[in-house]
Chains A and B, each alone.
Chain A
């Protein structure tokens, strides 16, 4: 019966003759969470239909582990739009088998949509699924690549790297406090050189999230670690507003602005 259902839903995707029907068919196929749907859902990543791709990514994440291998196999050589969606699916599943692919994509892919999806994915890997002796070397690789990627020329990739570093700092806060502190020091130095307001704001949020996690999760025994983190989100905020003051246009109703407009109109009418 399940096989019949799968066939019917898959056929509906293959036969969809409008983008609205395709979207609907992919949504239904995704919702069914059937392993048999994996190749069809992966194919839907390449249809250049963002709605269908979102639904397919959602479905692949729900299916989870069985989708990892086919995703990795089919990823190669896909158009870059589809590759970004496939990386997003891998990131959502968080299976460590995808680590190598995410490391490579975050660092080397020419498409920034792929690099940003991979950078985020490096933060969402489920480390506990690795054999214990492999966890630290794998996290070290992710840390190394994320620190590199936070220098990416594209703002959105740097933004994604902050997201990845935040999640990684939380993952290693207890097991490897030194690395968490390295990430926090990195944020401090990035704030000093970063010009993009959205990224400074995201670093501030990351600092808050890390501190909140450390305070909530660690008990009083480890309270010393919390103070050792000494997170400077106030400094980040000050930097953010210093940058803002440089950029701020004259606000609505500012008398200087009014004078400029009045002068301009007077000159034009003269």
Chain B
């Protein structure tokens, strides 16, 4: 689960760096400052060309390694590039899908989803296939080899209808949040309510973490029939409000140009009750 989706849009915290300093730090010798600068550029959505270029370079970083071979700077750079909305980052992020570090692959898939260019669909599909033998999940489950939830979510958002038969088996994955990601993608690709209802069902799970995940998924797909269930599930109001905001925005997109739908008003009324 990417908890960045729960992050407020703008922060009240003071900006402790300048853009110039962040770009300079990213190319400097201090590894800690480099990792922080990459995060900072994404956090404050610094959309300048120079920032995008240094972040793309950082996707190839070899200096910063964890004990078990991870690439902390690459991870942060990949996450930041998704937030900056510059399409130049798409090809290098596609290359990052082959990185040996799981978390770099996960961040790359999430950022490619945000950038919204379907050119990466075949690459995402080939990662997804690592979990499949033909039309079925690989037999040794759970399979932690790929960030399946991020891949499934990206395929759904990018409108990869071609991937539906490959996504379907993940509805039975032993890890719930991967099932939810598959349900979310299936709903986006087929608009079949059965998948939306699968996520509504998840709002009654015992585990708070699973309910939170389902809230984020329902907000992402804007599934209106879930509105009341979202308002009532046992979770933080802040998270419910963000999920309902997703429903509201979806209603705005769906409404005819001269009015707001009944659904939009219904969602706002529920949001008011959660303030």
Contact = CB atoms under 8 A, between A and B. Distances in A.
B16 interface: no
A165 to B, nearest CB: 13
Given A112-B8, A249-B116, A252-B159, A120 B241 contact: no
B225 to A, nearest CB: 18
Interface string A196-223: 1110011011000000000000000000
B43 to A, nearest CB: 13
Given A248-B253, A268-B123, A156 B272 contact: no
A159 interface: yes
Nearest to A195: B9
Contact of A155 (B10, B191, B235, B258): B10
A131 interface: no
B241 A156 contact: yes
Given A260-B118, A261-B162, A264-B122, A201 B11 contact: no
A113 interface: yes
A204 B260 contact: yes
A201 B260 contact: yes
B275 to A, nearest CB: 4
A201 B268 contact: yes
Nearest to A251: B253
| Residue from the set A117, A201, A252, A269 with the largest chain B CB neighbour count within 10 Å | A201
Interface residues of B, number: 39
Interface string A248-265: 110010000100110111
B12 A112 contact: yes
B8 A154 contact: yes
B259 A237 contact: yes
B224 interface: no
A142 interface: no
A153 B10 contact: yes
Given A153-B12, A237-B259, A261-B162, A50 B236 contact: yes
Contacts of A265: 121-122, 162
B8 A264 contact: no
B171 interface: no
B193 interface: no
B71 to A, nearest CB: 25
B264 A201 contact: yes
Interface string A228-270: 0000000001001100100011001000010011011101110
Contacts of A156: 8, 238, 241-242, 275
Contacts of A263: 119
Contact of A160 (B10, B159, B275): B275
User: How many of chain A's residues touch chain B, expressed as a range?
Assistant: 35 or more
B271 interface: yes
Contacts of A201: 248, 252, 260, 264, 268
A196 B119 contact: no
B146 interface: no
A167 to B, nearest CB: 10
A202 B248 CA distance: 10
A160 B242 CA distance: 13
A64 interface: no
Contacts of B120: 264
B231 to A, nearest CB: 10
A257 B272 CA distance: 36
A270 to B, nearest CB: 11
Contacts of B116: 249
Contacts of B159: 252, 257, 261
A227 B265 CA distance: 25
B245 interface: yes
A261 B118 contact: yes
B234 interface: yes
A264 B119 contact: yes
15 contacts: A84-B237, A112-B238, A119-B275, A120-B272, A120-B275, A152-B12, A155-B8, A156-B275, A197-B252, A198-B248, A244-B253, A257-B159, A260-B118, A265-B162, A267-B119
Query: When A and B form their complex, which 8 residue pairs have the shortest distance between CB atoms, in order from nearest?
Result: A268-B122, A51-B234, A120-B275, A264-B119, A153-B10, A153-B12, A160-B275, A198-B245
Given A50-B236, A113-B238, A264-B118, 18 more contacts: A23-B234, A50-B237, A110-B12, A113-B237, A152-B12, A153-B11, A154-B9, A155-B245, A156-B275, A198-B248, A202-B271, A237-B258, A240-B260, A249-B116, A260-B117, A264-B119, A265-B121, A268-B123
